[in-house]
Amino acid sequence: MSRKNKSPKVAVLFGTRPELIKLAPVIAAAKKLGIDTVTISSSQHTDLLKPFIDAFSIRIDHDLRVMRAGQSPNDVASRAIARLDRVLTEVRPDLLLVQGDTTTALAGAIAAFNLGIGVGHVEAGLRSGDRKNPFPEEMNRRLITRLADLHFAATTHNRETLIAEGVSKSNIAVTGNPVVDSLLRFAETAKPNRQLAKLIESTSGTRRILLTTHRRESFGSAMEGNLRVLREFIESRADLSLLFPVHPNPNVRKVANSILGGIDRVFLLEPLGYSDFIALVRGSWLIVSDSGGVQEEAPSFGKPLLVIRANTERPEAVEAGVAKLVGNSSKALKGHLEHAYGDETWINSVKKQKNPFGDGRSAERIVKFILRKI
């Protein structure tokens, strides 16, 4: 990876909203510290990605345009690898930086490895313990570990996982997660758009529940059961409201509209910009989510989180007391909701906890480690 007497060149690959949120601070820090930085978007997400490209003022140097309606992970991977092969051959960076566990990230790691280009993995070392859950993310991140040269672990727990799998200690940096960098940056000035501000005002005086659910393993009966429990919970208590930014995936939209459409004090929203999402998090009483990113974001605002998944690769949130792992049972979700409503001891205790995933300086640590290594 060495490039003696020349500025190092780093290509940064992303294709989904979470990847961009977490890599934007790294891109900014890399440019600030003199790294020749090339940005590559796979466009695995399109409509979801664009508002964040604008919000973070990211210039896209190369767009792979892999998005197709109804695409499978194999569709994304095959197109991304083929198109990355041409881009990386042209750019020839010292390092390709990928983030997390998406199909885009795995495709990037494979393409770079096959071209003899170093791979850096942001958010390395997360494991759920189940190869097929979340699918395909759990296997994606395990495979990326085998391909990566530099590993940026958010926590010491992630570092220990990597070491146990045979990764050299010298190639691991514990950096925190740069999602906290982005969160703190936007939190300073975040204001909801006019329509959302009116909604927040109209639900003032209620205990707002913020819901996000979109993961593939939640599709079908699991999601239907959870949404029915939430509908009944809201309908039976006049001091509650539910705000649900609905993912554009048809598997989510169809069931959301069917079960929650037209219900009093339930608001189905279009996908939100980052400032809008932060405003909703801040104004929530409780968050219910199957998102990994939300597990990292909620603690910064002292917001309690019910994780509607069978497992989590972020046990730090549970261990810190800011999140509870519900499992994939709607009956269990009902019990957790009723307990939170009847006894706010846990909800109040979360306000005092620090975010276990970072302090807002993760991007700087990542870039300085890269500079030491290439």
The pLDDT of residue 7 is above 90: no
Lowest mean pLDDT among 42-46, 94-98, 100-104, 296-300: 42-46
Burial class (CB in 10 A: 0-12, 13-18, 19+), 198: exposed
Task: Return the CATH number of the domain spanning residue range 194-350.
Answer: 3.40.50.2000
Residue 83 has pLDDT above 70, yes or no: yes
Is the previous residue joined to 136 through a cis bond, with omega within 30 degrees of 0?
A: yes
pLDDT above 80: residue 46 = no
What is the rounded average pLDDT for all residues in the chain? 94
Prediction pTM value:
0.90
pLDDT digits (tens, 9 = 90+) for 128-177: 999 998 999 999 999 999 999 999 999 999 999 999 999 999 999 999 99
Q: What would the mean pLDDT of 226-252 be, rounded to a whole number?
A: 96
Q: What CATH number has the domain spanning 9-177+358-373? A: 3.40.50.2000
Predicted local distance difference test score (pLDDT) of residue 49: 83
- At 228, the amino acid letter reads R
Q: Which residues are catalytic?
A: 101, 123, 137, 214, 216, 247
Question: What pLDDT is recorded for position 280?
Answer: 94
Reported as a pLDDT band with limits 50, 70 and 90, residue 64 is very high
Whether the Cβ atoms of residue 93 and residue 67 lie closer than 8 Å to each other: no
- The predicted structure's pLDDT at residue 220: 86
Give the DSSP letter string of 355-368: PTT--S-HHHHHHH
Under the banding of pLDDT at 50, 70 and 90, the label for residue 245 is very high
Q: How far is Cα 206 from Cα 197, in angstroms, rounded to an integer?
A: 15
Alpha helices by DSSP H, listed for the chain, are 17-32, 50-55, 73-91, 103-114, 137-147, 156-164, 179-187, 194-202, 221-235, 250-260, 274-282, 292-297, 315-319, 330-342, 345-350, 362-373
- Segment 175-196 shows an average pLDDT of 91
Q: Tell whether the model's pLDDT for residue 347 goes beyond 80.
A: yes
1 band by pLDDT with thresholds 50, 70 and 90: low
5: pLDDT strictly greater than 60: no
Does 194-350 match 9-177+358-373 at the fold level? yes
Angle of the 137-147 helix axis to the 103-114 helix axis, nearest 10: 20
Quick one: average pLDDT of 57-66? 94
pLDDT bracket for residue 189 (50, 70, 90): confident
Q: Is the pLDDT of residue 116 over 90?
A: yes
Average pLDDT for 219-232 = 95
Number of helical H runs and strand E runs in the chain = 16, 13
Query: Domain ranges in the chain?
Result: 9-177+358-373, 194-350
Q: Looking at residue 3, what is its pLDDT?
A: 54
pLDDT tier at 2, thresholds 50, 70, 90: low
- What is the structure's pLDDT at 332? 97
The pLDDT of residue 4: 53
